[in-house]
Chain A
């Protein structure tokens, strides 16, 4: 397999790590790196921060995490200063994006605070988020749609924003237990182009190895034409996945 791969391997971009890094988001990067390393596929991770002028067209896979409201304000200025357009063209170009919480909301058209203040976001797809009073918190589970691999994902959600997908926009999956996008329509996350948005931090990838591999495979296939990944020993991953899934489906989010 490795002769198919350019020496630089898969190029991962961690966007705004200094601002969007709540809730163990770093675990997703650790997971991607390790799962490539175990398959002897080289990779590089480049952090692109506010104000950096790094060329985004070189990257295969982008990760955008969640952040605190206070810090997201700092970020909006950078987006409107040109970064937003770069991100949109990478999306159209088919690069893989994993966007969590704040990073997910940012891909939508707007965020409306509970006081009615509207904030314009990137608008990569037609979905919007409204701030609410109720925080949707807890372990939860959803099943990805077939186009996103069809695996079951467990994670932890913690958001007061409620996201509603526009007509014709596909969710990432269907909620099995928990709130998902808005606590109403059983949808979770978004999927368009090769963008995967979700409220699942926790972080999402380590204990959902099938989903992690689906992202890697999508990115590797686009860059190097690798359609099948070598299997790994995922017993530790699956043990963590199954333990949480079992508890979530039983309806107990904690063991007090």
Chain B
């Protein structure tokens, strides 16, 4: 470890705390500025303030925040104080802010455990400082292409991060051929998790982000599909195939709007496995993946799994992910969508609604969203737009016109789509529409809409929940 002086540590922690405090007085949940302030005095302050802590890091395209929320709920239910970047600020600055603000002025960590979500490209910058005990990789899909280029590039970023952290135990999604390839060049111990049964609705014409064998270029074959390119893949030529998962869903008994019940097989002692019915309180298939990723993390960290099982049955949606609001006497559900794979999962959830509903699509193209919004053409809006249950459509965000156009080409009558440029106008409109409302925003659209809705419904801001 590099040398850090007591003085720079003191200044660094103080700068971070003061900045955070100021932002909160101004009613802003600042997430990266305090980190930048801390790094002015000591660029690697993160190493000091995370010393001796036990850290689980979660990375991957989709599911980071929800998986972290499950892990946090589990540890907190065992009365263990947990440090976590709850706001989803997952770059080096945001993570630095979180750790630094929770340290004493001498740089000593006040909590022993941390659950951290890390952006895929930020992983390699973060792990050399925090020395994670466990690294969880959820999945890899095309996402925010103008920031990272391509899926393969993102995969290499994660691989670099893992190389810099040879002591960490890995929890890898066995069903994702891209994620599974991370195990091939490392000596890190691996816990595999996966779903060993086909999902209810097989993907129709989903574009695959991993069509060809990453080792030899031959087209993969599948024993079964779960969603997108996930499933029981194997290469008929070189033999690269889905590893056998230790944390394994053997059967899906039920998937409803209220959650899922699955048969989970997991190690219950040296060489022994147990199958148990697990209830997951969040709906949709992708939350089953998030749940078993969390179980795998508990397994890898050596924590008592009874806490994670209990947490899965009680966990609430986190921060715009299937989050419910009661607004103006109406039910609103917000589902963050950032890429085609996640969006298709959300759309498939809407398509299966048994009652009439209104759908709101909010599309921003700010830096945190990615300036490139082309991905909306890869998501299957057709199925929802043409559903007789979908009674009203709204388009909003800085790219509302593009969103509206996508809905038109998906089969909607463009003259019936209401474009709302101002968020207040949007909330007023949906508040009067007389139907349950599903709001599908991308990242920055979610942040600001959630802020407005929270203020209007008396929900707390994320930074007040701790």
Chain A residues close to B by CB (< 8 Å): 18-19, 21-27, 30-31, 34, 68-71, 73-74, 135, 137-139, 156, 158, 201-203, 206-207, 233, 235-237, 239-240, 243-244, 253-256
Contact = CB atoms under 8 A, between A and B. Distances in A.
A235 B414 CA distance: 9
A245 to B, nearest CB: 11
B402 A240 contact: yes
Contact of B398 (A31, A68, A233, A255): A255
A69 B208 CA distance: 15
Please name the 6 residue pairs, one residue from A and one from B, whose CB atoms are nearest each other, closest first: A27-B377, A24-B377, A24-B374, A240-B401, A236-B414, A23-B374
B309 to A, nearest CB: 39
Contact of B401 (A68, A74, A239): A239
B152 interface: yes
Contact of A23 (B145, B211, B212, B401): B145
Interface of B: 142, 145-146, 149-152, 207-208, 211-212, 214, 217, 364-367, 371-378, 398-399, 401-402, 404-406, 408-409, 414, 417
Nearest to B378: A24
B377 A156 contact: no
Contacts of A26: 207, 377-378
Contact of A27 (B152, B367, B404, B409): B409
Given A27-B374, A235-B414, A135 B405 contact: no
Contacts of A139: 371
A39 to B, nearest CB: 15
Contact of A201 (B142, B149, B374, B405): B374
A156 B409 contact: no
A18 B401 contact: no
Contacts of B376: 24
B371 A24 contact: no
Contacts, number: 103
Given A26-B378, A30-B409, A201-B374, A256 B402 contact: no
Given A18-B208, A74-B217, A236-B408, 7 more contacts: A22-B142, A27-B377, A135-B149, A138-B371, A206-B406, A243-B399, A254-B398
A69 B398 contact: no
B404 A240 contact: yes
Contact of A156 (B211, B374, B408): B374
B414 A158 contact: no
B217 A68 contact: no
A158 B146 contact: yes
Nearest to A155: B374
Nearest to A49: B219
Nearest to B147: A137
A202 B374 contact: yes
Given A22-B145, A70-B152, A253-B371, A237 B377 contact: no
Contacts of B375: 23-24
A137 B366 CA distance: 14
Contact of A71 (B211, B371, B409, B417): B211
Contacts of B142: 22
Contacts of A206: 377, 405-406, 409
Nearest to A135: B149
Nearest to A243: B401
A68 B142 CA distance: 11
Select the residue from B142, B145, B364, B374 with max chain A CB neighbours within 10 A. B374
Contacts of A237: 405
Given A18-B208, A235-B414, A156 B404 contact: no
A202 to B, nearest CB: 5
A26 B152 CA distance: 20
A73 B408 CA distance: 36
Contacts of B417: 236
Interface centre among A21, A70, A206 (most CB of B within 10 A): A70
Given A235-B414, A243-B401, A137 B146 contact: yes
A158 B145 contact: yes
B372 A156 contact: yes
B364 to A, nearest CB: 8
